[in-house]
Structure formats: structure tokens, C-alpha cells
Amino acid sequence: MNTTDETRPLLDPEVLQRISRLDLVARQVVEGTLSGLHRSPFHGFSVEFLQHRPYVRGDDLRHLDWKVLARTDRHFVRQYEDETNLRATILLDASGSMAYASRSVSKLDYSVRLAAALAYLLIEQQDSVGLLAFDREPRKLLPARSGRRQLRLLLDELERVSPGGETSLAGVLHALVPRIPRRGLILVLTDALDDVTELLNALAHVRSAHHEVILLHVLDRREVDFDFDRWTSFESLETLGRRILVDPAQVRRTYRERFERFREELRQGCSRHHVDLASIVTDRPYDEALASFLTSRGGRE
Amino acid sequence: MTFLNAALLGGLGAMAIPLILHLIRRRRFRVVRWGAMQLLEGVVSERRKTLDFEQILLVATRMAVLGVLALAMARPALTTLGAGFLRGSRTVAIVLDVSYSMGHGGRFEQSLEAAREVLRSLGENDVATLVLAAERPRVVFDSPVGDRDAIAAALEKASPIHGPARLGEAVLAALDVLARVERPVEEVFVLTDSQRLTWEGDTGERASLDIVAEALPLTGREGVADGAMPVITWIVVPGDGTPPQPFIERIELPRVTRAGERVPIRVRVVSPGAPGRGGTVSVRVDGIERGGTPLPPGGAGEAVVRANIDEPGSHWIEARLVESGARADARLLATLTARERIRALLVDGAPGDEPLGDETSFLRLALTPYGDDGSGGGAPGAADFDVETIAPAALETTELERFDVVVLANVTAVSREAAAALEGFARAGGGVVIFPGDRVAAASWNRDLGGLLPAALGERRTATGDPLGVRVAARREVGQRHAALGSLSSADLAGVGVRSWLALDVADRDATVVLAMETGEPFLVERRSGRGRVMLLATACDDDWSNLPTRPAYLPMMQQTLLHASTGAAAAQTLRPGEPIVLELPLEEAGRAAVVRLPDGQVVEGVTARGLEGALLEYRDTWLPGLYTVRIADESPAYFAVNADRAESDPAELSPSTLVERVEARGFDCVVGVGGVATALGRRRHGLEIWRPLVWLVTALLLIELVLEQWIGRGGFARSARRSR
């Protein structure tokens, strides 16, 4: 869609999993993604003109200053007040359930790379980006800043993220609201395997603080399809000793129905609270996942 | 229940496979570290109560599939007979149809093969008997025997004989034999063909199936289930499609003739198949070839051979189809008795002095055309009748036994004594011929001779219009010639005109109208009275009432009428198998021994004539078709022809499906062809095989398993409960 067939294999999660440097991954993903996009869907909240800056790929052509182009034959875009002040905070779910991987890429690995790509994209747009990894409790909060150094710090922090215990996304969101006083964008990468009602309440809390929220619902293909073919003991990734022995064929349909109910509940809740929700399955190439998300987001504007 | 492949019951062990697989799969599970535990726990929690039960249900269904499949492969059979068979104590009766139709188209060979197969099925402790079904059933072994070789040898000796099979009686005979031994399992195998005659019966015969079914206390299957009746299996062998051949249906000739007469022998040939290319009928009299005559185109129809019967006495006639070789139904026998002289008593009710003036003068002339003394110039047939004429008054004093036939011509009335004498004369086999006339008192006749008259005498009627009178025509049944007319035909009677006649009322009398007038009124009527015959003409025997005496037909008609009337005492000499040979002899012959020569050359001596009123010689064992010769001392032999029923040559068949339907409707088993014998044996030996329904059950169980698996996958009981809520 946004990438050529030649570049597609390079953006496959299985391939990128082998690249250890997150900055390379992020750049690869973002460049692959943006090569097909006309403009970035992220922008600030002001409409007061501030200054010109050189055009970079992905900028909205609507902001290209045609008069300058006519006079100088150089590409400049018009920047508005506070546009540089987009403050995005990436919330990365690092709970045990995110460690599930039916193939080589776990949901956490996938989320880390997606977060890196998003951070790269936003920093490239001169925005401020912060990061908070969490499981039951928030881990280290990296406040939102812009610039290359911030990107380096973000990527370093992302590389250090490892799966932890049980999820409490709702609690983390509630705790986060007072710690981010200025309104901004909250990007949540999670499998949302938590109490949906509590999660939706927390999202409502975040929204009440005038933050824009994007929930990237990261799922594994097998969590969706439940296509196990023999008796299986499912052991919890979050709680030790919690296990179920079952014939998957016997419960597959019921599981799928329940899973679909869960997703629908989440989808309706997010819609109700004006939270952007994007479901991403980890077998999907990063660029495709990112592009589809960005495209849909761009379409909403 | 028993199993034909009991070894395959080991396959029931396969029922454990689904259970073992289930247990193995449960034990050899895979471990997955899982994230969405709360969702999965929710599912399991929802179905916790039914998951195990659903598993058990599924495993049980799979076990049932394999179990029923193993059962089906072991070929189970349901029967109460099974137990008896396992004890090895069967009594088997083989009823083999040896009728003539079985010899056609390879049917008998097929039946023998089927019988051999039944024999091969006998166990060491089993016993069997053999009944040959012919016109009369022949039980080969009065008591069932265990010697299979003996039964096989008897089978090899059997062959189709020329005659029908009374299958019903044969089966009943077999059941009688079976009833003589106490065995838990009794079986009858009836081997026959699909000839319509066998199954639907001939004229006057009941169908074999009806005879058997009606003789049994219960219908076939009820009786078998009850253990009260043997199992009867009808094995029907179809023919190989060989087209049927023409055969001789009958020979027509007078039973009695006069010596020296040239007798027309009419041979009727039937060709049930496609029209043939013609053929020749050859006739032999007393074994001497008397010439042949070609058949009409198509190979069927009537061939007439005229032969002189010179010598008085008994004669046998054989007609055969020259082109058909030695086939039994291409040959037919008949017998004929030639008399040298016939003694006739004429009672003249209107004597006269003038030439041809009395009532019987024309008749006397017709009976003795060459003179009373027999000096008729040596012409053939001369002086065949010894004629004596008396007045009615002399009737009471005349010994009627001296005569073969008494003629009453225009007799006013007869006294009671004379009437009683006449009735006794007829009862004993004498012939009475009655001619009316103007002197006849009809009321008196009806009163005094009512028991003798073939018809009540009515009023006198006179023809109006045509001065010649009313015409007369021969009245004959289709295809039948009345013996009273001999060779006389309608053409011969063409010029006969009747001016006056008596109305004859044949109602309520066992009489036959031989000739009728064109008005439809009876002209010549015949009736049996005891062993004798009474003939009644509607008009006078002189020329007062008709021109008959002046017509050429008069002489042969009168001679033939008197001859026919006189044959009552002659024994029937053309018989059906089983019909006894009866020969009447003078009383003084009582106690004399006769020799009977049978068709197969065997000679039976010492057959004695028994004397009551007269002497009666009787021989009953006439089941073998052919010529029987009875001879007493040095006297001339008497011939008797025993012909098999020609209906056996009728190839009409019933379709196998119709037969099976009919037999099964009666509750018996029926299989078609030798190939069906194995099936019948299997069914009899072990009962009703039920592997087919079991295979259907397996299919159904597989379907259930499939549906069950889908249903469980979709949520099983939990989903159903949720929906019902």
C-alpha cells in the first residue's frame, strides 16, 4: 500500500526482529511508511503563524508556502504557534501477557519497534515525545521533549524494556494524568487484556484532562484465531501456576466469540470516549500497520 | 443371534482406540505460555460443567462407530433357528419339481445344482429327505437320512417326466416326513421353475402356494418365529430363454367306431413360440404307420389323417410330430374301440303296411342299407347294425340287455314297467334314442320318463312360410366336435328342413344340445343317464315331419347317433395320469386274472376282476404316461392311453419379481436362481443377517459424530442453554 514490493520483506516483523539497533528499525519503518504518505497526520494544536522551516518529506503539502517557492524556488512550510509543542507520550504495556509470541515476534517486541518508529516520526517532525513503560506499576517516565538527543534516550529506554508481571493499564492511566499537566497526545501500545470497564474509565479520565488518546491494540494472530490443534496446557505469562488444560477444538468457537465480544466492547468504549483505536496483529508488517493507522487517522481530520 | 465371521468380533477391541487416543492426547499435551488467560478462563468457566460430559459423549460415539463396524463385519444374524443350527440338528426336505416344464431351457440342471448346494450345507448331524414333485409326489426317503451320498445318488437318478408337478401336495408330503422326526430345526427347500401353471394352478387345480399356505396352521414367518413350523424356502430357477417347441395338444376321434370304418383322426398341434416352418404329423394305428400329413403354414393347427379300422376290438393310435424327435409332448396317444355289430331295438309306435309306411322304415333302412341279413354285397360297413323291430306293447316283455341301443319312434306312451326297464337299461350303460311323432303324448312322457328324458317334451310346432321348413345347424363348442355327430358337418345338414317338431325344454337338466334349429330351438339333445346315454331328436325319424330321411345326411346321422348312444358302456380308454384303468367284463369273468403291461415295459400280473353286478377290472397305478395294455388270458388286449397334461407344455412364465412378491406375501422365503441359494442357506442357517442395517448405523453414527463435534466446537450444551435462555 505504502511501500513497494521490493522493500516489503525488509519491513517484515520477522526480518526487523533480527536488527538489534532500534534507530535503524525505526528509520526503516518510518521512511518506508512515509514514502507513500502525502503528509503526517500529527500536528500541533495552534493556528497562529510562527515561522517557515524547510520542507521535509511527509509534511502536509497544504502548509507548503507557495509564494516562497515561487520567489526563491525553495520549499518551505509554514509553521504555526505551538505546533512544535505537540507533546506525545508513548505508553508501552510491558506486562507479562505482552510477552506472548506464537512466532518469533512477541507482542512486546512488536510494540517496542512500533513505538520506536512512532518516536522517530514525531521527533523528525520536531515534536516532543515522552515514554512510559508499565506493567502493574508505571516504570520510569521519560518526559516529552524534542530533538535528536531525546530520540536517543527514547530508543535506549525502549531497548531496555522487558516483560514484567500482571497488567494494570487502568491504574497506570489514572496515575499518569496528574503527571502530564499540559495537554498532549497519549499513544498507548497494549494488548488491553485487562478489565475493559476499568480501562475505559481510565481512558475517560485521560480524555477529561484534554489529552488526545490513541490506543494501539496489539494482538497475536493466535490470540485472535485460537487455532491450536491438540490438547494444550495454557499457562499464564503473568501469574505463576495459573494454568488450564483444554482441547482447543472444543472451546475454539466459544473463545472466538468471547474474544470478539471483548474487542467490540473495547471498540465501542473507545468510540464513546473519542479514543482512536487501532488493532494491530503482530504478523502484519510494521510499515503497513503504521501506514494503515496513519492513513485512517489522516482521514479523520 | 449368531455370527458368520465370529473371528472378526475381535474387532470389538477397536472400540478402545478412541478412548486410548483420548487419554494419550490428554496426557501428551503441549504447554503454551499464554497471555489472554482471563478470556480462556472465562470460556472454561462457562462450560466447566459440560466439557467433560461432551468429551465423554464424543468418545463414546467414536467407540460406538468402531464397535458397530466390527459387529457388522462379523456378519451377525438374528434367528431362533441359529441355536438349533449350532447344535447341528437340522432336518431338511428337498422338494424337486420333476414336471415336464423343468426339462426345458436347462431348468432341471439348475435345480439339481441348487439341490446339491443344499446338500453341501448339511452338517454331520443333519438329516434330509428328497421328495420328487410330479403328478403324484414321490417321497424317496420315507424317513430322513444322514447319508448325503444316498440323497445325491437319488438326485442324479431323477429326471423330468412328462406331466405336471403337484408342488403343493409334494410340499405337504415333505412336511409329513419332517414331522416323523423331532428336530429343533426343520427346513423345506422347494426347487421349481417359474411356469405360470405351477404357481397359478390349472383348471380345477389350486395353486401350489395356496395349498401349502392353507395347510399350515400359521403363516410362514409367524409359524417359524413361533417355532411351530418348518422354514419353507422356494428356490425358483428361470429358464435360459430357449424358445418353446410345438406340441400336440389333442387327438380327436370317436371313442367307438364300427369295424371297417374309415375314421378321421384329427391331430391338433400348438406352437407356443414363434411360427415354425411347418412340419409333418404322422399317425400310427396299433404301431403301424398310417401315413402323415403336413401341418398348415406356421407349424400349428389341425392335421387330419384318415385311417381304416378294420378289426373289431381295442386299438391305440399314436400321433407324433415327425420333426420334433423323441420329445414327450411331440407325441400323443389315443384309443379307439371298433365294434363289429351294434344291436339295436326299434320300438315302432306307428306301424304300417305300405313300403316305407311305418315309423321306423327309413331308420331301419339307414341302419341296414344293404339288407338285414348282412348280405350287403361285402361292402365295407355293411350290416353293422343288428336291427329288431317291435311294437310298443312288446317293450315290457323284451330283454333289453340283449341290445346296445333302444330306439323309441313315435311311441304314444310307455307303461311304468317299461319306463323302469328303460331307466335300468340306460343306467347300466345302454343307449336310448327317442324320436317324437304325431302319436306322442308329451304329458305322459314327461310324467313317466321324466328322469330319462334329456328335455321335457313341449307342444308340437309347425314351420310357417318356407315349405321346406326350418333349417338345422350343428351346434358345437369352439374347437370341439361332438362325438354324436362323428364326421358330420353343418354342410352335410344344409338341405335339411323341419316342418314340424316338438318344443324341447332343456332347462334344469344336465343335457347337451348337439344340434339346434336356426330358430335356436334344440334339435338333438343328449344326456348321460347312469353309465348310458339318452339321445332325443325334436322331430320324427320318418318323413312326416321333415325331409331328413331323404337327405344324404340321414344315414350317417342316424348311424352315428345310435353308435354314440351305444358307447355309454364302453370304458374310457384315454386317461390322465393317476386316473384308474377300469375294464368292465361280463359277470362270469369275475375272478379272472389279467396282465397289465406298463409304458416302461414292466408287466404287472394277477390283476383280478372283481364281480358285483358285473365284473370290474381295475388298475390304479397309472402315474406313468404312455400306453397300458390289459390282457385277459388269450383274449384280445384292451388298450388304455395315459397322456400327461398338455398344459405342462404351456411355456407361460411369471416374472421372478412377481414370484418373490407372492411367496413372501404368504410368509415364505423365495430366492431366484442358483445364485440365490447361498443367500437362502445363509439366512436359514443363521437367520436374518443384519450387517446391512449395522452398516447404515455406522454411517449414522459417523454423521452423529461429525455433527456432535461441530456442535461441541460451537459451544455444546452451554451454547444451547444460552440460546434457550
Lowest mean pLDDT segment, chosen from A242-251, B162-171, B647-656, B704-713 = B647-656
**Residue B329 DSSP one-character state:** G
A247 and B55 within 8 Å at the Cβ level: the answer is yes
Closest approach of chain A CAs to the CA of B54, in angstroms?
9
Closest approach of chain B CAs to the CA of A245, in angstroms?
8
Whether A107 contacts chain B with CB within 8 A: yes
Which of A238, A250, A259 is closest, CB to CB, to B712?
A250
B30 and A100 within 8 Å at the Cβ level: the answer is no
* CA-based nearest residue in chain B for residue A233: B31
A193 and B39 within 8 Å at the Cβ level: the answer is yes
Closest approach of chain A CAs to the CA of B184, in angstroms?
55
B39 and A249 within 8 Å at the Cβ level: the answer is no
Mutating which of B30, B31, B33, B50 best tests the A interface, going by the most A Cβ atoms within 10 A?
B33
B713 and A247 within 8 Å at the Cβ level: the answer is no
Best CA proximity match to B448, nearest among B512, B391, B492, B392: B392
Distance CA B93, CA B119 (A): 10
Distance CA B596, CA B607 (A): 7
Lowest mean pLDDT segment, chosen from A161-170, B110-119, B310-319, B579-588 = B579-588
A100 and B34 within 8 Å at the Cβ level: the answer is yes
B55 and A237 within 8 Å at the Cβ level: the answer is no
Q: Tell me the pLDDT tens digit for each residue of A121-157.
A: 888 877 889 998 887 777 788 888 888 888 889 888 8
The helix (H) or strand (E) run that includes residue B315 is strand B313-321
A251 and B47 within 8 Å at the Cβ level: the answer is yes
* Contact residues on chain A for B719, CB-CB shorter than 8 A: 254
Lowest mean pLDDT segment, chosen from B70-84, B406-420, B452-466, B623-637 = B70-84
Helix B675-686 and helix B107-120, axial crossing angle in degrees, nearest 10? 30
Distance CA A104, CA B384 (A): 133
Distance CA A173, CA A138 (A): 9
Query: What pTM was computed for the model?
Result: 0.50
* Contact residues on chain A for B46, CB-CB shorter than 8 A: 254
The CA R_g of chain A, rounded to the nearest whole Å, is 20
Which of A193, A245, A257 is closest, CB to CB, to B35?
A193
Does the pLDDT at position B615 exceed 70? no
Closest approach of chain A CAs to the CA of B65, in angstroms?
20
The helix (H) or strand (E) run that includes residue B345 is strand B342-348
pLDDT-derived band at B570, boundaries 50, 70, 90: low
Mutating which of A219, A254, A279 best tests the B interface, going by the most B Cβ atoms within 10 A?
A254
B714 and A98 within 8 Å at the Cβ level: the answer is no
Whether A288 contacts chain B with CB within 8 A: no
Closest approach of chain A CAs to the CA of B26, in angstroms?
6
* Contact residues on chain B for A244, CB-CB shorter than 8 A: 37, 40-41, 44
Q: Tell me the pLDDT tens digit for each residue of B648-700.
A: 777 778 888 888 888 888 878 888 888 888 777 766 555 566 778 888 999 99
Does the pLDDT at position B382 exceed 50? no
The helix (H) or strand (E) run that includes residue B471 is strand B470-474
Pick the more confident residue, B411 or B258.
B411
B33 and A193 within 8 Å at the Cβ level: the answer is no
Residue-level pLDDT at A7: 41
**Which amino acid appears at position B310 of this protein?**
D
* Contact residues on chain A for B26, CB-CB shorter than 8 A: 231, 245
Give yes or no for a contact between B204 and B667, defined as CB atoms under 8 angstroms apart. no
Q: Judging by beta carbons within 10 Å of its beta carbon (0-12, 13-18, 19+), is residue B345 exposed, middle or buried?
A: buried
Distance CA B416, CA A184 (A): 153
Tell me the CA distances in angstroms from B89 to A269, B86, B145, B668, one per residue in order: 85, 8, 12, 21
Pick the more confident residue, B492 or B320.
B320
Give yes or no for a contact between B560 and B485, defined as CB atoms under 8 angstroms apart. yes
The pLDDT of B137-145, averaged and rounded, is 89
A193 and B36 within 8 Å at the Cβ level: the answer is yes
* Contact residues on chain B for A234, CB-CB shorter than 8 A: 32, 34, 37, 40
pLDDT-derived band at B479, boundaries 50, 70, 90: very low
The CA R_g of chain B, rounded to the nearest whole Å, is 39
Cβ count within 10 A of residue A295? 17
A96 and B35 within 8 Å at the Cβ level: the answer is yes
Percentage of chain B modeled with pLDDT above 70: 84
Which of A223, A231, A258 is closest, CB to CB, to B35?
A223
Pick the more confident residue, B479 or A89.
A89
* CA-based nearest residue in chain B for residue A108: B35
**Residue B546 DSSP one-character state:** B
Cβ count within 10 A of residue B340? 12
Helix B716-724 and helix B37-73, axial crossing angle in degrees, nearest 10? 110
Query: Who's near B477: CB < 8 A, 6+ residues apart?
Result: none
A258 and B51 within 8 Å at the Cβ level: the answer is no
Whether A227 contacts chain B with CB within 8 A: no
Query: What number of C-beta contacts closer than 8 Å exist between A and B?
Result: 104
Residue-level pLDDT at B132: 92
Which residues in B175-240 belong to E strands, given as ranges?
Answer: 185-193, 231-237
Place of cell 358345437: B476
* Contact residues on chain B for A233, CB-CB shorter than 8 A: 29-32
Maximum mean pLDDT: which of B461-465, B607-611, B720-724? B461-465
Distance CA A188, CA B335 (A): 125
* CA-based nearest residue in chain A for residue B25: A231
Residues of B with CB under 8 A from a CB of A: 25-26, 28-44, 46-47, 51, 54-55, 709, 712-716, 718-719
* CA-based nearest residue in chain A for residue B26: A231
The pLDDT of B633-662, averaged and rounded, is 81
* Contact residues on chain B for A246, CB-CB shorter than 8 A: 40, 44, 51
Whether A192 contacts chain B with CB within 8 A: no
* CA-based nearest residue in chain B for residue A190: B35
Q: Which long-range contacts (CB under 8 A, 24 or more apart) does A32-36 make?
A: A32/A2, A32/A3, A32/A7, A32/A287, A33/A2, A33/A3, A33/A117, A33/A121, A33/A286, A33/A287, A33/A290, A33/A291, A33/A294, A34/A2, A34/A58, A34/A121, A35/A2, A35/A3, A36/A1, A36/A2, A36/A3, A36/A291
* Contact residues on chain B for A237, CB-CB shorter than 8 A: 33-35, 37
pLDDT-derived band at B587, boundaries 50, 70, 90: low
Closest approach of chain A CAs to the CA of B46, in angstroms?
9
pLDDT-derived band at B375, boundaries 50, 70, 90: very low
Whether A220 contacts chain B with CB within 8 A: yes
**Which amino acid appears at position A223 of this protein?**
E
Low-confidence stretches of chain A (pLDDT < 50) are: 1-11, 37-39, 45-46, 83-84, 300-301
Place of cell 389279467: B594
Give yes or no for a contact between B681 and B121, defined as CB atoms under 8 angstroms apart. yes
